[in-house]
Each structure stands twice: as C-alpha cells, then as structure tokens.
Amino acid sequence: MMGFFDRLMGEFIDVIEWTDSSNDTMVYRFERYGNEIKYGAKLTVRETQVAVFVSEGEIADVFMPGIYALETRNLPVLTTLQHWDHAFESPFKAEIYFFNLRHFIDLKWGTKNPLMLRDKEFGPVRIRSFGTYAMRIGDPVVFLKEIVGTDGYFTVDEVSDQLRNLIVSRFATIVAQADIPILDLAANYEQMSRFIEQKIAPEFEAYGLELTKLLIENISLPPNVEAALDKRTGMGLAGNLDDYLHYSAAEALSAMGSGGTSAAGEAMSMGMGFAMAQQMTTNLSRQNTKHLAPPPIPKAQTYYVVIDNRAKGPLTLEQIKTAIAEGTIAEDTLAWREGMDGWERARSLDGLATLFHLTPPPIPS
C-alpha cells in the first residue's frame, strides 16, 4: 500500500531539492520511487551544494547552484547515455546525489598510542599529540567514486577515522624529519601545522576532499619524562647542585620523621640523608684544604728594547740587568712593556731606572 502511495506522489512531485538540517551530512541521495523523474521537473541546487546525476552506475551531469528544468538541453551527458532524441518527454530513471560543499570544522585528530621519536637531548622518547582540522568536499565526482559509492546518506563520521589515521601517520613522519628538540616543539606549533597541512593536502585531494585547516593543540611527553623535566627545572631554580641535594635530603628526612612514609620511602629518605652527610663532609674537606695550597706564582714582568734598530724581547729584569752590565742596553735605549702606549727611554721607566745605578761609574782618567 505504501509503495502505491509513494509511486502516486512521485508522479505528481516535480520539484527536486535538498535542505539539510544536520551538521554532519556530506552526501544525500534524493529518494524517488523507482528513481523515476518527470521530464521537465524543477531541480533546485542551493549555495554550497552540487547535484550529480548517476544513470545505470555511470556519472552523468553535474549541476552547480541554481534552478534547472530537467530537459534534454540541461542533461547533455544523460541524453547521450540514454540515446534520447530531441522529442523525448517521458519520465526517466536516474539517481541524484546532493553534495554539501560547506566547511566541516572542529574535527578531532590525535594519537591513539604514543609515537617513538629520537631526541638529541633526551634520547628515545614517546610523545602524544592532538588537535583539530577542517575540510570540505573539493571534487564531488572524485569523492563519489572513491569514497561514497552507493551510500545514500553519507556523514562525516564515515570518513573521519580514515582521515584521522592519515593525519597521525604523516604527523609522526614529519615531526621525526623536522629534527626539532622536544623542548622547542611548543614554540613551533604554528609552523609545524602549516607544514603538515601542505604535506597532507594532496592525499586529501586524492579522495576528492580539501584540507582547509590543520591545528596542533598539544604535544605532550609521558608522565615520567615530564617528572624528570620538573626535577631538572627545580635544579635550575636552585642554582647549585649541592643546595638542591641538601634541600631534597632535608625534605626526605622531614617526611621520615613525621612517620607518614612507607618502608620504601623511609629507606629512600635514609639514603638521601647519608648522601647529604657525605656531600657535606666532602664540601668541608674542600674548604679546609682549599687554603693549604700555595697561591699561583705571579707572572714576571718582561720588557721589549730596541737594539740596533730592532725590537728584542720579551726580556726579564735579570736579562736586562745583564745587558746593562755588558753595555748593550743604556739609559737612552727605547723600552716598552705591556700596557704602555708607546716606546720610552729606559731611564724613565720605574722598573728599569734603578737598574742603571747598580753598576759603578767608569773610572775617571
């Protein structure tokens, strides 16, 4: 009985359209009894929609937004497939698929299992990541062939798992090739998002889809690695390893003294206490022995002198004293030492002036 009324209504209905009240429908097949369409029926394709006619399994005509009268002049491909003549005015059979071309936003992606990466600072580490992406149908014909098939009601959920797996797979490869230190990943979310978007976009196009946006919202490390980073941060804030050890040992001893720790905790606290005592003993020994060693030998003052119009040196005071005794260096000899702006007479330098009076003057004739 219902089939009779469906057929009867189909003979009188001559308007073909689709209004979508959902937020996740990508493709809708217009249902008609026996897929029969009246010649001259009105086809309404709204903005962000495309209508595709399929005849006996073959894709025929594609209609962009607008209002059309379904006649042979508007159905050139279908007319050719069916070998209609220009006088054809009978009802015909065809499947009509409406495609929703609007953006589907805030779609989630994320790693189900941690990804193994090799970091220069921490070595092999596991990371998790998640974010969102947006996409839309870019080529309805390709999407119909590759994904939809004969599905009369296709939603985002039916393809989101495949797209999410595609993003995660490429994300792992791209992050590994980027060679960015783990601690610097957060500063590169935007750059990495754009790079991954460009790399994955061609694979979306192969399905007839367009990836319009991809965002990385978070990249996290396992809890034990995060705990190690927190300890390292604490050490950095302490500023001194000895102070950090003393603080940790004192905290452990305090917890042990309060009686609220387990046997394992007490053993660890005792170990920390022994380590602190040993460290303090070592520091005291270093402080006591630090002043027993002699100070470093001071650097001897050296000079350069001009002899026979050539600079000679560096010469120590003993060497200069010997040269004065031999008559090689006189009071008017030019001399220079580190820190002076230029050459000066040897007698004008405090370090050399006294050396000229150590030898007796020549015997008078």
CA angle in degrees (0–180, nearest 5) for 205-210-212: 140
At 254, list the tokens. 């305090």
DSSP code string of 115-149? EEEEETTTEEEEEEEEEEEEEEES-HHHHIIIIIT
The two beta strands, 123-137 and 104-110, are antiparallel
- Residues 6 or more apart whose CB falls under 8 angstroms from that of 215 comprise 131, 132, 133, 189, 193
User: Mean pLDDT across the chain, nearest whole number?
Assistant: 80
The domain defined by 104-223 carries CATH number 1.10.3720.10 = no
The answer to whether the pTM exceeds 0.85 is no
- What is the C-alpha to C-alpha distance for residues 106 and 337, in angstroms, rounded to an integer? 75
Q: Would you say 320 and 303 are in contact if contact means Cβ atoms under 8 Å apart?
A: yes
Q: Would you say 171 and 196 are in contact if contact means Cβ atoms under 8 Å apart?
A: yes
Q: Per 3-state DSSP, what percentage of the chain is helix, strand, and coil (rounded to 5)?
A: 45, 25, 30
- What is the C-alpha to C-alpha distance for residues 49 and 51, in angstroms, rounded to an integer? 7
Question: Is the confidence at residue 3, as pLDDT, over 70?
Answer: no
Question: Is the confidence at residue 146, as pLDDT, over 70?
Answer: yes
Give the sign of the dihedral formed by CA 309, CA 310, CA 316, CA 320.
Answer: negative
Domain boundaries defined on the chain: 2-100, 104-223, 240-285, 302-357
Q: What is the pLDDT of residues 177-186, one digit of tens each?
A: 777 887 788 7
Q: Would you say 119 and 181 are in contact if contact means Cβ atoms under 8 Å apart?
A: yes
Question: Is the confidence at residue 115, as pLDDT, over 70?
Answer: yes
SS3 category, 48? coil
pLDDT: is 21 or 293 the higher one?
21
Question: Is the confidence at residue 12, as pLDDT, over 60?
Answer: no
- What is the C-alpha to C-alpha distance for residues 150 and 165, in angstroms, rounded to an integer? 24
- What is the C-alpha to C-alpha distance for residues 97 and 43, in angstroms, rounded to an integer? 12
Q: Cα(first)–Cα(last) distance of the chain, in Å? A: 157
- What is the C-alpha to C-alpha distance for residues 47 and 100, in angstroms, rounded to an integer? 9
pLDDT for the residue numbered 264: 47
- What is the C-alpha to C-alpha distance for residues 200 and 214, in angstroms, rounded to an integer? 10
Q: What is the pLDDT of residues 201-244, one digit of tens each?
A: 999 999 999 999 999 998 888 787 777 777 766 665 555 556 66
Lowest mean pLDDT of 23-37, 45-59, 225-239, name the range. 225-239
- What is the C-alpha to C-alpha distance for residues 117 and 355, in angstroms, rounded to an integer? 73
Model confidence at 279, pLDDT cuts 50, 70, 90, reads low
- What is the C-alpha to C-alpha distance for residues 84 and 92, in angstroms, rounded to an integer? 10
- What is the C-alpha to C-alpha distance for residues 15 and 42, in angstroms, rounded to an integer? 5
